[in-house]
Amino acid sequence: MTMTLIERLHELGFSGNELGHEAADEIKRLTEQLDRIGRIDNSIAAQLGRSMEHNARVKVELQQWAKAYPLTAFPEPDMAKAAELLKAGGQTLDAVSASNMRHVLKRVLEILEDQPSKNSG
């Protein structure tokens, strides 16, 4: 036969009056914990909402940036010819490519950190 919590406490020697005070204290403690958990849960939900909004803004800005360089306006170059022309001018395609990548990655990081572009209003 399974005993209830109250029956088990009576068996351990707690009286009804003690149970009343101790139960009330325990209920108060548990209620306070639930309130804290609720506040934490609301805080996490708010942070998650802000993060999701940020991610959506970042995605839109990156998509807009990618669309700013369409192949119709900027066709893929002949890389061998570009390398040859750069070499004739004392440059390398690798140096130009690395410079472009640094620029792109710098701007991507700015977008991720929500920093406005120097070119934006």
Among 104, 101, 102, 83, smallest CA distance to 92 is for 83
Task: Give per-residue pLDDT as tens, 9-56.
Answer: 777 777 666 566 677 777 777 778 878 887 888 888 888 888 889 889
The answer as to whether 14 is a domain residue is yes
Full domain range(s) for residue 40: 1-54
- The residues, ordered by sequence, that sit 6+ positions from 61 with a Cβ below 8 Å of its Cβ are 111
In a domain, 119, yes or no: no
- The residue-averaged pLDDT of 75-102 equals 95
Domain count of the fold of the chain = 1
Determine, yes or no, domain membership for 71. Answer: no
Please, which contacts does 80-88 make with residues 24 or more away whose CB atoms are closer than 8 Å? none
Interacting residues of 14 by C-beta distance below 8 A, sequence separation 6+: 22
pLDDT of 1 reads: 60
Instruction: Specify if 96 maps to a domain.
Output: no
> Is residue 111 within 8 Å of residue 57, measured between CB atoms?
no
